[in-house]
Amino acid sequence: MGKAAAMTSEGTPSHSLQIRGRTVPRLGLGTWQLTGDECVDAVADALDIGYRHIDTARAYGNEREVGAGVKRSSVAREDVFLTTKIWMDDFEPQRLRRAAEDSLRELDTDYVDLLLLHWPNPGVPLQDSLSALSELRERGLTREIGVSNFPPKLLREAVALAAVFCDQVEYHPYLGQDDLLQIAGEADVMITAYAPLAHGKIFGDPTLSVIAERHNTGVGQVALAWLLAQPHVCVVPKAASHRNRVANFQAVDLKLTPEDRQAIDALPKDRREFDPAWAPDWND
């Protein structure tokens, strides 16, 4: 698979990632489709397990619950890497600033660690949106800024316009992201993998099942370990149960062999789970 097969030292996953001098926990909790008390409980439980990275978005409708979960846990806010995203209807600078301020109120925090543009919006100049994000960073409302669902051409454009820290994209054993990983290496950008278990499609996969059996672990842990050992990559799987949150967290310590990684690299890499009508041209 080439570039995507590159690993950290000796292919060993590490618990944190260094991007432009900032430390980011490699494994986070994704909160898409988690709402109400279930979301509050999930966030608090994840932090108690040992997670230190939580991902949400305005479009998820759960920022208030995510903030409550952080407050409920015994972990100090400054020890949590918290990400949210601005929906594309709010990319015009004034709307973006208001949306970001509203997110902070919902999350009940003075700042987020990472603020992303959720999807590309060709109707608003990218320079304008990124300038507004940069202003929010200068004001201390976010530590870092970035994008989500940006294909390679758009990511290169964004990196040229602003200090983009991250591109959050769908990434799993059935979907490759070689070109984005190359840009990440060149520009020191983090690639955050969402839907890392391909919406459950990986379970039952013969190749992953054999590897899981060899390591006496689960298929999900194998998929996450494959991603976690790649340079510039962090992962934010959703887990609605305590059991799955624990299992996902254990993936950080799973070391796959070169043969394991080669077998996963060889799986077809063209199966996309998210392709809404507003999606960009993924091959651009």
Annotation says 111 is catalytic: no
Please give the sequence-ordered ranges of beta strands (E in DSSP) within the chain, or none if there are none. 16-19, 22-25, 29-30, 53-55, 81-86, 112-117, 142-148, 164-170, 190-194, 233-235
* Amino acid 13: pLDDT: 57
- Tell me: pLDDT of 2 over 60: no
Residue 8 clears pLDDT 80, i.e. is over it:
no
Tokens of 192: 């955050």
pLDDT tens digits for range 206-254:
999 999 999 999 999 999 999 999 999 999 999 999 999 999 999 999 9
Q: How does strand 29-30 pair with strand 22-25? A: unpaired
Prediction pTM value: 0.94
Average pLDDT of every residue of the chain? 95
Positive or negative, the CA dihedral 149, 77, 130, 152 is negative
251-269 burial: b if 16+ Cβ within 10 Å, else e? bbebebeeebbebbeebeb
Find the catalytic residue in 60, 171, 174, 194: 60
Q: Is the pLDDT of residue 137 over 90?
A: yes
Binning pLDDT at 50, 70 and 90, where does residue 12 land?
low
The full set of domains in the chain, from first to last, is 2-265 (3.20.20.100)
At 45-99, the pLDDT tens digits run 999 999 999 999 999 999 999 999 999 999 999 999 999 999 999 999 999 999 9
* Pair 234, 26: CB distance under 8 Å: yes
pLDDT tens per residue, range 168-200: 999 999 999 999 999 999 999 999 999 999 999
Q: What is the pLDDT of residue 33?
A: 96
**pLDDT at site 215:** 97
